[in-house]
Structure formats: C-alpha cells, structure tokens
Amino acid sequence: MSHYNPAEVQEYWQQVWAAEGVYECPDDADDPTYVLGMFPYTSGSLHMGHVRNYAITDAYARYRRMSGDDVLHPMGWDAFGLPAENAAYDRDTDPESWTRTCIDRMKDELRTMGFGYDWSREITTCDPDYYRWNQWLFARLYEEGLVEKAGATVNWCPDCETVLADAQVSEVEADQADDHDHGTTEVCWRCETPVERRELDQWFFTITDYAEELYQGLDDLGGWPDSVRDIQRNWIGRREGAEITFAVDGGGVADRAVETFTTRLDTVYGATFLAVSPGHDLAAELADGDEAVAAYVDEMRGTDPEDADASGVETAATATHPLTGEELPVYVAAYVLDDVGTGAVMGVPAHNERDHAFAVEHDLPVEAVVEPLGDDESPLPDAPFTGDGMLTNSGEYDGLASEAARERLRDHDAVTESVTYRLRDWLISRQRYWGTPIPVVDCPDCGHVLVPDEDLPVELPEYVQTTGNPLAANEDFVETTCPDCGGPAERETDTMDTFVDSSWYFLRYLSPDLDSAPFDSETADEWLPVDVYVGGEEHAVLHLLYIRFFTRALADIGLLDRREPVERLINQGTVLHSGQKMSKSKGNAIAPHEYGAETTRLFVLAAAHPRQDFEWTVKDVSNVYDFQQTCYGMVQDFRSRESVRTESTDHDAYLEREIDRTIAAVTDEYERFRFHRVITELQTFARLLRRYRGYEAPYKYAYARGLRTLATLLAPIAPYLAEEMWHGLEEEAPVAGADWPTPLQDVPDYRIERELIRTTLADVRDITDVVDIDDPDAIEIVVAQDWKHRAYGIARDANPDDAVVGQILDDDRVGDRRDAAGEYAADLAERVAELEPIVAADRELETLEQAAWLFEDEFGADVTVRQAGDGDDLAAKARPNKPAIHIE
Ligand code: ANZ
Ligand code: ZN
C-alpha cells in the first residue's frame, strides 16, 4: 500500500480539479497573471517537446495561483493547415474529421499529464466561431490600409495547379527531372512535378509599415532571450545607408533621376557602372526601344535571381556620376533585386563581391578607392577589398578614413540619408482548402469588395477531393453576388496562412465566447502583456514577429492600448535521445506516457534549466520515480505511525528552520523558472525529513509541517503526487487550490548557521579519517570564548589601512587577554580582507546544539556542544565559526 501508482489516481484528481474549478480564471481578476504556452498544431499526438513546453507553463501557473494570483493558463488548438489535407487524402477522410479526432486524442493526453488548464476558454482555430474573427480582423486591417493584393513571384505546381509555400517545395537529385543544369531541382512535395516560378497576384499584410517600430521595440524587450531579439533584428535587417541620385540619358530617356541605395557611400568614386533590376521602371522604359533589353527583362521574369549569376544586358543609356561628372554605362542586371533598397545600385567592382563578379563578366573597369589600413594587403585585382580603410582616388576626400568620408559625403547635394529593411511584406494567401477563406468578393464592376461583417463567417464548404484548390473547384462557393452592386461576382478562393490564426489567439482566450468582437478591448488592456510565453525557438521570427505586428496593428485600429504582446519569453531547449533531437522521424522518440505521465513531466523539469537541451536517460528517470515513491512513502508511514512526540526538543528547532529555509529557497527558484533546482532542493529536504524521522520519534507538529510543506512545494511540478500526500495528511483537498506556504520565522543570516554546520560536519569527517577512528564514542564540539568573536567583529569592521592589531587590542575585553589576544589579533590582521561574516558566540553555540543530532546520527557517537572556558584545553584551538573538535 505504500507504493505510489499515479495511473490509479490520475482520473480521480482530474475530476476533483474540474469539479472545484481550480483552474478556471475569473473574468474580473485583481491580480492577473497570464501564463501561456504556444498552442499545439493538431498533429494527432503529444510529443516530448510539448510535454516539456507545457510542464514549464503549468509549474509556473500553479505556483502563481497558489501564491494568490488570478492566473490565466489556457489551451487551444492550432487546427488549420496543410498536413490535415494530406492526412485526409491518405486516409480517405476529410480534414475536419481528421482534425477533430486529433484534438480529442491530444486533449486526453494533456489531461493525463495533469496540466491544469482553464478548459472553459478552449479555442479551436478551425471553428467558424474562431475563424470568423480572422475574417473580421482581415477586414479591419484592409480598411486600415494594411492589406494589399500585389504581384509576387511564387512557386507554382503545374500539375496540382496551385501555389506552393517555400516549405512545400522539395529538392531532389537532377536526374529525376531533366531540364536543369544544377545538381538538384525543385519539385512539388505532393506530385514531384518540377515547380515553376510564376508571377501571381497574392494577398499581403504590409508588415513592412512597422519595420522600424518592430526593430526599435526589440531594445525594450528585456524579458526576451537575446538570441531571439538578435534573430529578429537580423530578419528585419535594418540598414542605414544613403541614396545617391544619378541622372540617366539616352535609349529613349532624358535626364531621368535614378536613386541608388548604398551602405558604402565612401566608395562612390569607385562606381564604374549603374545597374537596375529587371523589374525597375527604368528597365521597362529602356526595353521599349531595345529588343535585347526587352528579351532580357522577359527572360528574367520568373527566374530566381540566385540562378541569374552575373547575367545582365547593357543598355543605350548612360548615367552621370554626380561627383565626378563621368559618364557610366547603364545595365539591367538580375543580381540587383527588385525589392531591396531602391532596386538600383552603383556598381563598385573594387569593393563589392557581386559588383566585382559582374564587372569581370562584362569587362568593366575596376577602380580602387579604399586602401586597407595597417599591414593588410589588398586582394585586388583578383578579388574586391570589402573592408573599411583609407580613401584614395576620391578627390577632396582622399586620406579620410571610410567612416569619416561617409559622414562628410552625406552632406553632398546628390546624397540623402536612407534606411532600408530586409523585411518583406507577409504573403498570407494560400491556394488551399484547410484554412480561413479570405472574405473578399471580386466584382467585375466594383473590383475587390469586403464581405460585410454581418455576413461573416464565410464558411468553408464541404470538402471534396480534387486536384488544385478545392475552393476554386466548387462553383457553389465561388459564384456569389457583389455586396456593393448586387451583380454577379466571384468569391476569393484563397485561404489565409495559418500563421494569421495564431497571430492573435492569445487575445481570444480572454473573451472566448464574445460574439460581438474577437476580444473585449477592456479585458485585453487589463491582461496584456502576456506575463510569460513559453515555446520553441524555431518560432523566433515567424510567429513571434507576427504577434508583435498584430498587436501594433490592433492598437492602431483602436482595439488595444498595448503595442507589445509578451513581457517575458522563454524558449525551452530540446530533449535529446542518443545525442539527437527526439523525434518520430529519427525513430528515437519516447511517448510521453511510456514512463508514466507524472514521472515524465517531473523528469523533464528536473533534467535541466528550461532553456537548456538535455539528454533523456532512463537512469535519471528512475531517480525521479524513486523520489516520488519516497515522498509518498513518508506520508503513508506518518499516517500509520504510532510513536510521535508531542513535546518539542532542541533538534526540532533545527528542522523548523530548515523548513523555513526550504520554503524561501524553493519560492525563489520558482520565481526564476529554475525548476530543476526546485527539485534538487526538495530532494535534499525529503532526505532530511527521512533522517529526522529515523533519528527518534518525530515531534508531531514539526514533522507534519515538514510533510505539508513538501506536498505544497511539490504541487506545481508533481500535481498528482502532491494531492495524494495532501490527502494522506488529512488536509482539505485539493492542494492545487491551497495557499503557498510561508516561513514561520525569518532568521537573519541563517545562511551562516547552515554553513557553520556544514563545515563542522566536514571537519569531524576529516578528523575521523585522518586519525582513523571508524567508530567514535564521543565527539566534543567547543565554541570559542566570547572575546574571540568580539575581536573578530572588530577586525571585520576595521579599516585595513590602519593599525588593525592596535584597534583590536584597544577593546578592554579583548586587551585583557594579553598574550593570547596579541597572537589572535595578529592572525586576524593578516586575514582582515577575507574575514567572512559570522554569528555571535551564543548563537553559534545554540546552532550547534540544535544540530548535534546530525553528528550523533552520522557518527553514532555521544555529542557534547559547549563553549570554551578559561583554562580549557580546547580554548586555544577554538575560533569563531570554527569550533574546536575533540573525538574519542
Ligand atoms: C555600393 C557598394 C560598394 C556597396 C561597396 C557595398 C559595398 P549589405 O551589404 O548587405 O548591407 N544593394 C543595394 N540595393 C541592392 C539591390 N536592390 N539588389 C542588390 N544589391 C543591392 O547591402 C547593401 C549593399 O547592397 C549596398 O551597398 C549595395 O551595394 C547593394 F564597396 O553600394 B553597395
Ligand atoms: Zn504538384
């Protein structure tokens, strides 16, 4: 009966929790704490990564809840997405049924793990009640000017007749397809047809409108890991630089200004040509009267610029260098990207890799204008010198360092300061069935018209298996009337990227049943930001950038006050097995329930700091299991135990202090998310309780308090075990709703007492070792006389530059001790800088008296603790914080 088997009690406690509504969060919270884990994609089963992610949020949520906060810890389902269509195809079902089956299974698994969610707020993104608000928000963004339909170069599968996301294109060896000169070719993930690149009209959210703010806001996100902030900075790719205007003439254009973007203004004298992208307006203008240019522009349309190498075409136009007045040739070149900077560059072959490659290919001059400083050799002419250095061949700027030259050149008339970003607008349309229909009607007369709010949701029609986009193939869905003119019109058949669903789900949890808006703005202002958000680092840019964008957009629409959604972000590390990331595809996965749900969740917390990767080892799992058994066994024994004491003695005070210390230490570790240290502390504490109980009949009140403390401190990480213990102690269930324990007494400097006990125990061990006494009969621990503590205190306070010995001996009670005092004072003076804090002699004595049982228990000897007296043999040896020890 003293064996703990969580599988037998899980169900029972889940029911108790549900009946008591422990995890339900009130709408009107006084002390709101929002703890959130990234909701799972409905793949069908939980994996170890989920368990780890949610064990972290659950531990913290439970801890805060027991501490008195109103905690919101919700859960839901990221339920739309392509894999469901794929699964439906393979299993001859439909995406909806498949997804619902997955949700049922995963919800059951989450329950078994003992995670405490407010299920009354569960959300499922494929519910019309949810995606209706995706559509509503799309409409608000559209009205705000944050939605755009624009041409984009996309991956297209001619066989499936659909656009593919980059992630849906696979690389295969070239021999599987024919017409490609590279080693690999890109094919459709589903039918393996080589994909084409097509220019298609797609829907975008213009996230780039927020590029600057998203970039600057990262500086204030002190609660986010630096790594994530760096990844976002990089992704946004803010570049300070300058635009230089060139005048272009010839080939049908006259005195046309072309802006080029550069980060290397200092190299402007080295510009030997001008190049524009095939999509640049100038290219179109020049193509008009020039067949070669027209042919090149045509050829490059739909070519991946990565494949274009140094290709390009010379035009009939020339550009005037704004500083030298020189005439430069003008090229259309695919290495110049349309959507970077201004889509035009000054070519500086001497100092830029791509310009150099282009110049070599097209026989253009290479003019060095920056020389390396110091002993560095320039790699020119074989390769460009791309570093900063000193200017040469640059007119009045000669001799300046690069940075100084850039600063001076900024004042030139042809130059304006400019910032560009790498961030692109967010392409949200997908030619897929299992997603939110884009709520737009295309009318031959009115153009794009939003579906009116009162007609939302535009519901997904029933799924029919077809090739291509099932929505486009469904005439009943497509054919509609225009909301504006009432004439015949067609529905948009694209659905939204599922990242749209997850960009605001954390707001829906706040008012899950509201049917007048996606969320209640007032509630949202109370609850935001999310206090702690936990999830994998793989979402560093996409999801975590999108929620930052959405929050800002919603604020600008007037639905929110806050502009940042998340205060503190934790990216949990990876669970490894045999040195590799645990995953089904690698065949090294362990199912979350294989070793018992609670043991597993406890182990993933015990193994490492949440951020750290760790290796799954059966040995460590079984240690955790043993710990569960120990804790449970102690309570069972206590219940059936006859002999307890009702009078307290000295050593009970030691236990009381350790209980208080453990509460303080563990609370601090919970606060810092160091659950692995919580577990180490509790293991130490459990060992102490066991020893205490074994030493002699325990004092009933102190021991029961110890066990209660253990149960409450365990509750956030081992919820079933804690409930069983709490129940065994005849406390009112559930412990999940109990108060967090507080220390009875705050003993200042208890740390010093503990250290004193630890080092004294170590000293006794050393002595028994050295003098080889296996089985000592008696141990005498002798605390130094008061005057030494006094001298020690004076030395610690003394100014080390003054005569320390003199200061010590000046004290009457120390000075009285003559020779002994002189010797001791000299010794203290030598160590004055390294004297650790100590407690007074009487407290030292008391501490060791209360800990005497530990010595007795460990060494099986009689223990005496006393203070040295005059003429005492051991008086000379005893020092503050270092009692003399005598063993027989
Ligand atoms: C002249 C120059 C001289 C440049 C030099 C660099 C070095 P990074 O380097 O990543 O910060 N650039 C500008 N617009 C471009 C476009 N649309 N397509 C391709 N390249 C473009 O990027 C800034 C540099 O990228 C710019 O500075 C420009 O080349 C090039 F010694 O201008 B530079
Ligand atoms: Zn295909």
| Per-residue pLDDT tens digits for 220-274 | 999 999 999 999 999 999 999 999 999 999 999 999 999 999 999 999 999 999 9
Question: Tell me, what's the pLDDT at 601?
Answer: 96
Residue nearest to atom 9 of ligand 1 (CA): 263
Residue nearest to atom 26 of ligand 1 (CA): 262
Q: Which residues line ligand 1 (CB under 6 A)?
A: 239, 261-264, 267, 277, 336-337, 340-341, 343, 345-346, 348, 351-352
- Whether residue 35 has pLDDT greater than 70: yes
Ligand 2 center–CA 89 separation, angstroms: 14
Question: Tell me, what's the pLDDT at 54?
Answer: 98
Residue nearest to atom 14 of ligand 1 (CA): 341
∠ CA 473-474-476, nearest 5°, is 150
Residue nearest to atom 31 of ligand 1 (CA): 351
Q: What is the pLDDT of residues 327-354, one digit of tens each?
A: 999 999 999 998 889 999 999 999 999 9
Contact present, 839 and 753 (Cβ < 8 Å)? yes
DSSP assignment of 207-223, as one string? GGGGHHHHHHHGGG-TT
- What value does the mean pLDDT take over residues 742-764? 94
Cα 471 to Cα 478: distance, rounded to the nearest angstrom: 7
* Beta-strand relationship, 415-420 and 147-157: unpaired
Taking the domains of the chain in order of start, what are their residue ranges?
Answer: 133-206+425-498, 239-420, 761-887
Question: Tell me, what's the pLDDT at 424?
Answer: 86
Q: Which ligand is nearest to the CA of 353?
A: 1
Could you identify the atom of ligand 1 that is nearest to the CA of residue 341?
A: 14
For residue 249, list its beta bridge partners. Answer: 318
Q: Which amino acid is at 212?
A: E
Pocket test for ligand 1, best of 263, 346, 367, 423 (most atoms within 8 A of CB): 263
Q: Which ligand is nearest to the CA of 385?
A: 1
Ligand 2 center–CA 213 separation, angstroms: 39
Question: Tell me, what's the pLDDT at 183?
Answer: 60
Ligand 2 center–CA 185 separation, angstroms: 14
- Residues in Cβ contact with 38 at an 8 Å cutoff, skipping those fewer than 6 apart: 53, 502, 533, 534, 535, 536, 539, 543
Pocket test for ligand 1, best of 258, 268, 337, 340 (most atoms within 8 A of CB): 340
- What value does the mean pLDDT take over residues 754-781? 94
Question: Tell me, what's the pLDDT at 641?
Answer: 73
Helix then strand then coil, in percent of the chain rounded to 5, is: 45, 20, 40
Confidence grade of residue 436 (pLDDT, cut at 50, 70, 90):
very high
How far from chain centre, in Å, is Cα 94?
A: 34
* Beta-strand relationship, 426-427 and 415-420: unpaired
Higher pLDDT: 802 or 38? It is: 38
Ligand 1 center–CA 313 separation, angstroms: 19
Q: What is the pLDDT of residues 475-485, one digit of tens each?
A: 999 999 999 99
- What value does the mean pLDDT take over residues 503-512? 97
- Whether residue 396 has pLDDT greater than 50: yes
Residue nearest to atom 19 of ligand 1 (CA): 336
* Beta-strand relationship, 147-157 and 162-164: antiparallel
Pocket test for ligand 1, best of 264, 267, 277, 306 (most atoms within 8 A of CB): 264
Question: Of 370, 277, 409, 260, whose CA–CA distance to 320 is shortest?
Answer: 260
- Whether residue 135 has pLDDT greater than 70: yes
Cα 351 to Cα 357: distance, rounded to the nearest angstrom: 11
Question: Tell me, what's the pLDDT at 212?
Answer: 97
- What value does the mean pLDDT take over residues 193-216? 93
Residue nearest to atom 29 of ligand 1 (CA): 262
Q: What is the pLDDT of residues 632-649, one digit of tens each?
A: 999 999 988 768 899 998
Ligand 1 center–CA 261 separation, angstroms: 7
Question: Tell me, what's the pLDDT at 177?
Answer: 44
Q: What is the pLDDT of residues 85-128, one digit of tens each?
A: 888 888 889 999 999 999 999 999 999 999 999 999 999 999 99
Q: Which amino acid is at 203?
A: W
Residue nearest to atom 28 of ligand 1 (CA): 262
List the structure tokens of 486: 């009432």
Question: Of 779, 644, 634, 775, whose CA–CA distance to 699 is shortest?
Answer: 644
Per-residue DSSP letter, 417: E
Question: Tell me, what's the pLDDT at 86?
Answer: 84
- Whether residue 179 has pLDDT greater than 50: no
H or E, element range at 199 = strand 196-205
- Whether residue 178 has pLDDT greater than 60: no
Question: Tell me, what's the pLDDT at 167?
Answer: 61
Ligand 2 center–CA 765 separation, angstroms: 75
Question: Tell me, what's the pLDDT at 470?
Answer: 87
Question: Tell me, what's the pLDDT at 215?
Answer: 98
Mean pLDDT of the chain: 93
Contact present, 157 and 190 (Cβ < 8 Å)? yes
Could you identify the atom of ligand 1 that is nearest to the CA of residue 340?
A: 17
Question: Tell me, what's the pLDDT at 180?
Answer: 43
Q: What is the pLDDT of residues 829-873, one digit of tens each?
A: 999 889 999 999 999 999 999 999 999 999 999 999 999 998 888
Ligand 2 center–CA 159 separation, angstroms: 5
Q: Which ligand is nearest to the CA of 336?
A: 1
- What value does the mean pLDDT take over residues 124-139? 98
Is 239-420 in CATH node 2.40.280.10? no
Question: Tell me, what's the pLDDT at 159?
Answer: 77
Question: Tell me, what's the pLDDT at 537?
Answer: 87
Question: Tell me, what's the pLDDT at 181?
Answer: 46
Confidence grade of residue 466 (pLDDT, cut at 50, 70, 90):
confident
Neighbours of 200 (CB within 10 A): 14
